Amino acid sequence: MEIESSEFGKIEIERNVRSRSIRVRILHDKLVVSIPVHSSPEEALKFISEKRDVILRKQRLADKKEKNNPTRIDENFKLKTLTFDVKLIRAQRKELHFSLNNGILTIEFPATADISTEIAQKHIWNGISYFLRKEAKRLLPGRTRQLASKFGFYFTDVKIQSSKSRWGSCSREKSINLSLYLMLLPAHLIDYVILHELCHTREMNHGDKFWAWMDKVTDNKAYELRQELKKYNMPR
């Protein structure tokens, strides 16, 4: 369910079988609200109204962070993914050209082009995302199988998606979804996210039993890795 708000921008309300309470993810231009299955959208809106001042303050901080977004692309843009680096070059071309060779994704763009425009940024990120998806499909399902085998987990399927709101998720049917943007993380944090979702095949919540599993499979480094992951952002 989506609602337009003059104060908060778009409000997206979604039910989550794992949620025990109303949770709000605050972005610079919208709110993503997760509610338990027994809650109503009206309760979500009441919760937001009660937390109005706090949410607006955090939204202003998110807006400031967005304006300083390190994933904003210019000629000095540098990006290192798990399997390739990104390099931008002005060239005598009429349109964008992408090529991945020897661990370098080269993006050539017209010499006279203004790549600061919203549409140019979108086209470049779409190209980068195409190669991130290819690499994610090549590597992440296999890594998920390896970790599941190592720690004795069972899952039914693993899919690569383009989610920009969460690194991964797990359904009650033990089907795991992984964001292609995991490829922007270092290998040990990719493993952390995969293990997080594998642990959800045993515990579908974030209770004590879940975190006990996480500590077991991360050598008691679950909290440390969780805090490290918070330092990374998905491209907006």
**Chain segment 132-175, per-residue pLDDT in tens:** 999 999 999 999 999 999 999 999 999 999 988 899 999 999 99
Question: 142 and 193, same structural domain?
Answer: yes
pLDDT band (50, 70, 90) for residue 225 = very high
Q: What number is the average pLDDT over the span 55-79?
A: 75
Query: How many domains does the chain divide into?
Result: 3
pLDDT of residue 133: 97
With respect to residue 236, please indicate whether it lies within any of the assigned structural domains. Answer: no
Residue ending a domain, choose from 10, 42, 67: 67
With respect to residue 72, please indicate whether it lies within any of the assigned structural domains. Answer: no
Residue 106: domain span:
79-133
Question: 168 and 125, same structural domain?
Answer: no
- Residue 200 maps to which CATH number? 3.30.2010.10
pLDDT of residue 184: 94
Residue ending a domain, choose from 41, 67, 93: 67
With respect to residue 218, please indicate whether it lies within any of the assigned structural domains. Answer: yes
With respect to residue 74, please indicate whether it lies within any of the assigned structural domains. Answer: no
Residue of 171, 137, 145, 178 whose CA lies nearest to 16? 171
Question: 149 and 217, same structural domain?
Answer: yes
pLDDT band (50, 70, 90) for residue 70 = low
With respect to residue 193, please indicate whether it lies within any of the assigned structural domains. Answer: yes
Question: 150 and 223, same structural domain?
Answer: yes
Looking at per-residue confidence, does 175 or 61 come out higher?
A: 175
Question: 173 and 159, same structural domain?
Answer: yes
Q: What number is the average pLDDT over the span 17-27?
A: 85
Lowest mean pLDDT among 65-74, 98-107, 127-136: 65-74
Please check the confidence at residue 83 and state whether its pLDDT lies above 80: yes
Question: 116 and 162, same structural domain?
Answer: no
Average pLDDT of the chain, as a whole number: 91
Question: 96 and 143, same structural domain?
Answer: no
pLDDT of residue 65: 62
With respect to residue 142, please indicate whether it lies within any of the assigned structural domains. Answer: yes
103: how many CB neighbours lie within 10 A of its CB?
10
Please check the confidence at residue 234 and state whether its pLDDT lies above 70: yes
Question: 194 and 114, same structural domain?
Answer: no
The two tokens of residue 130 are 């195409």
What distance in Å separates the CA atoms of residue 16 and residue 18, rounded to the nearest whole number?
Answer: 5
pLDDT of residue 26: 85
Q: In angstroms, how far is CA 158 from the centroid of its own chain?
A: 16
Please check the confidence at residue 126 and state whether its pLDDT lies above 90: yes
